[in-house]
Amino acid sequence: MSIAFPPSVSLANLPTPVERLRPPPGYERLPNVYVKRDDLTGAALSGNKVRKLEFCMAEAAAAGADTVITCGGVQSNHARATAVAAARLGLRSILVLRGPEPAESDGNVLIDRLAGAEIRFIDEAEWPRVGRIMAGIEAELEAAGRAGYTIPEGASYPPGVFGYIRAAGEIADAERALGLSFDAIVFAVGSGGTYAGLVYGARIFGLRARILGVNVLDTPEYFADRVAGISEDFVRTYERRYRGEPWFEPIPAGDVEIAGGYDGPAYAVPSGEGIELIRTFARSTGLFLDPAYTGKAMLGLAGEAAKGRWKASNSVLFIHTGGIFSLFPRRKELAPPGTTRSA
Ligand SMILES: Cc1ncc(COP(=O)(O)O)c(C=O)c1O
């Protein structure tokens, strides 16, 4: 099967490589793990959100927008990628970030500011109203003779879904090149769009892998419903374009498989085990996982392997979805002890 994609702009370095993981010490009992390096979609403009933004930014351009508006946590990778994509395309950006304004511009916030984003910090208590806050910003812009385009949290709305449909095509190509088919595809779930895209992409490109997300906040049940909801919106939005295509059916919540229990103490806060994993992988494999998403997803892969989910002969694809900038604000917990010595 194939798909006629809607218009997109080119932002990501694609296809991203797929590399075999050399298991670090303590992780020898993993199945054969391959890593799809979506942390290499770019530099400041890197991670999984760039794939989604290729389609979202095309929509913004088609709508005649001069400003893109989006939201997320203070260290949102999605907000940062949106700010950088906007700068690259000559648009302005306004970011609504959850939490108090940090004393220092660190990690993603530094990149946001360097990319010229206007940032509005809101309280946690105001977060449930973030959709209305962004609609208010769009109205403000319109009153000033400008035009805004709002991308919802994580770009997990219909246009964003195409990002990981396209990625699934790359995964099918990698399978052909490697002469294998993956038994599972494992990755972090934060707002559900990556998951929905991979399910559609697997249907279209004939992947037989189980799509296994690892939730980094909330619960597996919450994300099963959220993915189903994204897919219902997707089917409603593209009804005329894809009606009758065999893959074009909503994703039932019961088919969404999420491994829970790896989300740590809170959103973006790693457990002690998570910190140790990030350090071990950095030191022994050169792969830099992050405290909010990919560190937890790898903890999930290792945890599920330890529970016996796979045989040693199985091949599992881990998608490294990016997030490197959020290492910096957590320097106190993450810096390995005793690595310097006076001369
Ligand atoms: C580094 C990283 N990995 C994974 C995710 C999760 O992807 P999604 O929001 O599509 O579930 C995000 C964003 O939330 C992210 O920034």
Inform me whether the pLDDT recorded for 341 exceeds 90. no
The confidence score (pLDDT) of residue 343 equals: 72
Cα of 269 from ligand 1 centre, angstroms: 15
Inform me whether the pLDDT recorded for 130 exceeds 80. yes
Q: Which of 321, 324, 325 to mutate to test the pocket of ligand 1 (most atoms within 8 A of CB)?
A: 321
Inform me whether the pLDDT recorded for 338 exceeds 80. no
The distance from CA 311 to its chain's CA centroid, rounded to whole angstroms, is 27
Q: For residues 288 and 39, is the Cβ–Cβ distance under 8 A?
A: yes
Distances (CA, A) of 8 to 26, 59, 163, 293: 42, 8, 10, 26
Distances (CA, A) of 301 to 22, 128, 184, 246: 15, 31, 10, 31
The confidence score (pLDDT) of residue 167 equals: 98
Q: Residue of the nearest CA to atom 5 in ligand 1?
A: 190
Q: For residues 277 and 298, is the Cβ–Cβ distance under 8 A?
A: yes
| Ligand 1 atom showing the smallest separation from residue 72 Cα | 14
Average pLDDT over residues 269-277: 97
Cα of 293 from ligand 1 centre, angstroms: 7
Q: Which of 48, 262, 290, 299 to mutate to test the pocket of ligand 1 (most atoms within 8 A of CB)?
A: 48
The confidence score (pLDDT) of residue 251 equals: 98
Mean pLDDT of the chain: 97
Cα of 321 from ligand 1 centre, angstroms: 7
pLDDT tens digits along 168-211: 999 999 999 999 999 999 999 999 999 999 999 999 999 999 99
Q: Give ligand 1 pocket residues (Cβ under 6 A).
A: 47-48, 77-78, 154, 156, 188-194, 293-294, 321-323
Q: For residues 144 and 15, is the Cβ–Cβ distance under 8 A?
A: no
Residues of the chain with CATH 3.40.50.1100: 18-47+157-334, 49-155
Cα of 217 from ligand 1 centre, angstroms: 11
CA-CA-CA-CA torsion sign (193, 199, 202, 203): negative
Cα of 306 from ligand 1 centre, angstroms: 24
Average pLDDT over residues 203-230: 98
| Ligand 1 atom showing the smallest separation from residue 216 Cα | 6
With respect to CATH, is domain 49-155 assigned 3.40.250.10?
A: no
The confidence score (pLDDT) of residue 339 equals: 61
The confidence score (pLDDT) of residue 31 equals: 98
Q: For residues 159 and 6, is the Cβ–Cβ distance under 8 A?
A: yes
| Ligand 1 atom showing the smallest separation from residue 326 Cα | 1
> In 119-270, where does DSSP find H-type helix?
130-143, 158-178, 193-205, 220-237, 239-242
Distances (CA, A) of 98 to 52, 79, 120, 152, 237: 21, 11, 9, 14, 28
Average pLDDT over residues 92-116: 97
Q: Which of 49, 71, 157, 294 to mutate to test the pocket of ligand 1 (most atoms within 8 A of CB)?
A: 49
**Of 75, 324, 88, 53, which is closest to residue 166 (Cα–Cα)?**
53
Q: Residue of the nearest CA to atom 6 in ligand 1?
A: 190
Cα of 191 from ligand 1 centre, angstroms: 7
The confidence score (pLDDT) of residue 236 equals: 98
CA-CA-CA-CA torsion sign (108, 114, 120, 121): positive
Q: Which of 36, 80, 191, 287 to mutate to test the pocket of ligand 1 (most atoms within 8 A of CB)?
A: 191
Tell me the CATH number of domain 18-47+157-334, given options 3.20.20.10, 2.40.160.60, 3.20.20.480, 3.40.50.1100.
3.40.50.1100
**Of 141, 175, 154, 129, which is closest to residue 48 (Cα–Cα)?**
154
Inform me whether the pLDDT recorded for 340 exceeds 70. no
pLDDT tens digits along 38-75: 999 999 999 999 999 999 999 999 999 999 999 999 99
**Of 45, 28, 108, which is closest to residue 76 (Cα–Cα)?**
108
The confidence score (pLDDT) of residue 336 equals: 80
| Ligand 1 atom showing the smallest separation from residue 77 Cα | 16
DSSP per-residue letters across 45-106: S-STHHHHHHHHHHHHHHTT-SEEEEEEETT-HHHHHHHHHHHHHT-EEEEEEESPPPSS--
Task: Calculate what percentage of the chain has a pLDDT beyond 70.
Answer: 99
The confidence score (pLDDT) of residue 337 equals: 75
Cα of 320 from ligand 1 centre, angstroms: 10
CA distance 140 to 193: 28
CB contact set of 191 (below 8 Å; sequence gap of 6+): 78, 153, 154, 155, 156, 226
**Of 328, 292, 244, which is closest to residue 72 (Cα–Cα)?**
292
Q: Residues 8, 46, 76, 315: which is the catalytic one?
A: 76
The reply to whether 342 belongs to the active site is no
The confidence score (pLDDT) of residue 240 equals: 97
| Ligand 1 atom showing the smallest separation from residue 192 Cα | 11
| Ligand 1 atom showing the smallest separation from residue 213 Cα | 11
Residue 34's SS3 state is: strand
